[in-house]
Amino acid sequence: MSSFKDVLNQYDWDKTMLSILSKTEEDVKQALHKNKRTLEDFKALISPAAKSFLEEMAQLSSRITKKRFGNTMQMYAPMYLSNECQNICTYCGFSLTNKIPRRTLTDEEILKEVAFLKAKGYDHVLLVTGEANRTVGVDYLNNAIQLIRSQFSNISIEVQPLDQEEYELLIQNGLYAVLVYQETYHREEYKKHHPKGKKSNFDYRLETPDRLGKAGVHKIGLGALFGLEDWRADSFFTALHLKYLQKTYWKTKYSISFPRLRPFSGGLEPKVEMTDPDLVQLICAYRLLDEDVELSISTREREVFRDHIVQLGITSMSAESKTNPGGYTIDKQSLEQFEISDERSTETIAEMLKNQYLEPVWKDWENDWVSMTGFK
Amino acid sequence: MNNDILKIADKEFNSRLFTGTGKFSSSGLMEQAINASESELVTVALKRVDVKDNQDDILIHLKDARINLLPNTSGVRDAKEAVFAAQLAREALETNWIKLEIHPDPKYLLPDPIETLKAAEELVKSGFVVMPYIHADPVLCKRLEEVGTQCVMPLGAPIGTNKGLKTLDFLEIIIEQSNVPVVVDAGIGTPSHAAAAMELGADAVLVNTAIAVSQNPVAMGIAFKMAVEAGRMAYNAKLAPVQDKKAMASSPLTNFLYE
């Protein structure tokens, strides 16, 4: 197998859906009682038949998460560098056709945003941009990483997919993790939502984690955007992707995120709704499939939901996020990529965690080690 | 007065329970649990502390003079990174002790024997007291001893699993053959596991998850302290032999010698 594309091509979307929907309560019980669970068990755990086992799944997921991660929660903050984008994505506020003022942060502005996040206590930062290769290509990203490198222990990016050599350059200069969501694993639906721009190339995006694995990145974040297609099938393919990557690039760490479609300027109604119980079921199912994968929740979710989900399997979260470039200090009113739901301050979130006997962890990496990486 | 002192390199320890600092719900609770355990050697992940900040939340809770800090290299994936991390730790924390952990596998955190041996050799030459976290591999333990590590730290079970001494047969061989202290690291989930390791003849045990993730880490710290002491006392007292289930033959085979 040269990439995950070869694996995915062996699957049929409709048959996969049927297989998930036909799982029985007996399949769920069997999955719950195993020590090691397979992808077939995962199908049972995300199936409608598992709905009546939600509490049992949550109890188990909570216990396993505590065993592996302890009473801790990794904290990170996103920092949007640019909302320029040459893609058309039907669900995104940064979409090319959306007539909004565009802004890309200068060095000075980046440092101002950094100062704000550092004062809040953040030591892990996630840099986010749209896809505009001329303005926010690899040179811009490389400059930004080098500019802020000494300030953070852990720098991640969520930007357009890059070539392997480009990732190698960024890793060499201080990049720790890359988050790249497939949005949907359904080829035809993907095409509908990404009609123009480089992002319309499904395979190039699908093979991004392979390029990252080959480049020797420390962590890869995966996920699907819930709302574009059926969440169950998309989650199964995400899990399939995860298992393939873990076996192939075994030195790399993995995380899963759970973005649900949120309102934005010029919005798209979700085709498939994912309810709160659905999301809880999915988070627990991932934990039962894999004890070690990091599970991350953003401020897209509302307060009450986040207050409870931190006990059920989640291991990292953001707080007080702004999804517009310069949103913390420069241009608070500029257009957001999407609206956030939980607007509480970092201090309030940290307090909420402490009240639940969870320690917010601000530093869990040593940035000086990154460029030491001498292997792939 | 405790005459049963454990010596590693130039340090003497009254307690044979080593502890960790991860997974606690707060640094305050971590401090209380470690104090209750009376542990004198506490490992701290270099990646978790901010060594440039003298008010780092974990480090300020470990200021007790009784506590020796043992920085670990958790997070590094090869010998080159490990050596670099150890040098950083020595400079920042002013200790030449290092718990050498190299696990390129981030899932089960299983140690890389080849890179560990390579790094250990280099670090010993640079004056470090090296405590390597390794598989329960008797040959590797001898190889590490030969390059000059001051102890070996074989795992009882995969880290964080609380499964106990799954590597018992190999630990027995390691303990039997070792000329340096053997510290059973990883997998110890209950005080009875710790006691069993000590009864077996381990020189010390390292416990983190089992204390940090318990409902009452302070009480669990005390329980582990007592278990380690009991296990060590039993080892020193020489355990009574296990009685074979077979009955003694009613007609002894050697009686003819005395007829």
The predicted pLDDT at position A124 comes to 96
Quick one: CATH architecture of A4-23+38-363? Alpha-Beta Barrel (3.20)
Query: Please, which pLDDT band fits residue A134 given cuts at 50, 70 and 90?
Result: confident
Residue A9's pLDDT band (boundaries 50, 70, 90)?
Answer: very high
Residue B21's nearest CA partner among A155, A153, A359, A76 is A359
Residue contact B104–A358, C-beta within 8 A = no
Give the integer Cα–Cα distance in Å for A43 and A299.
27
B99 is catalytic: yes
pLDDT confidence band for A376 (50 / 70 / 90): very low
What per-residue confidence (pLDDT) applies to A353? 96
- Indicate yes or no: CB of A251 within 8 angstroms of CB of B77: yes
Interface residue B78 vs chain A (CB under 8 A) = yes
pLDDT at residue A267 tops 60: yes
B113 touching A (Cβ < 8 Å) = no
Q: In the prediction, which pLDDT does B241 show?
A: 72
Residue count of chain B: 259
Q: What is the mean pLDDT of chain A?
A: 91
Give Cα separations from A189 to A233, A282, B93, B153, B179 (angstroms): 13, 22, 55, 53, 65
pLDDT by residue (tens digit) across B232-257?
999 999 888 776 666 566 676 767 77
Q: Which among A2-6, A176-180, A335-339, B172-176 has the top mean pLDDT?
A: A176-180
Over residues B184-232, the pLDDT tens digits come to: 999 999 999 999 999 999 999 999 999 999 999 999 999 999 999 999 9
Which one of B21, B23, B50 makes the best mutation probe of the A interface by having the most chain A beta carbons within 10 Å? Answer: B23
Sketch the domain layout of chain A as residue ranges: 4-23+38-363
Cβ–Cβ of B25/A357 closer than 8 Å?
yes
- Which of these is catalytic: B63, B99, B163, B246? B99
Contacts A–B by Cβ distance under 8 A = 81
Confidence at A181, pLDDT banded by 50, 70, 90: very high
Give the pLDDT of residue B1. 43
What is the distance in angstroms between the Cα of B169 and the nearest Cα belonging to chain A?
Answer: 24
- Chain A hits for B106, CB-CB cut-off 8 Å, are 251-253, 292
Region A104-116: mean pLDDT is 95
- The structure's pTM equals 0.85
Q: Name the least confident of A180-194, A264-278, B133-147, B148-162.
A: A264-278
pLDDT, tens digit, 9 for 90 and up, residues A113-125:
999 999 999 999 9
Interface residue of A366, A371, A372 to substitute, partner B, most B CBs within 10 Å: A366
What value of ipTM does the predicted structure carry? 0.72
Q: Give, in degrees to the nearest 5, the angle at Cα B50 between A319 and A173.
A: 80
CA distance B190 to chain A (A): 13
Burial of A100-109, coded b for 16+ CB within 10 Å and e otherwise, reads eebbbbeeeb
Residue-wise pLDDT for A57-101, tens only, equals: 999 999 999 989 999 999 999 999 998 888 888 877 777 777 788
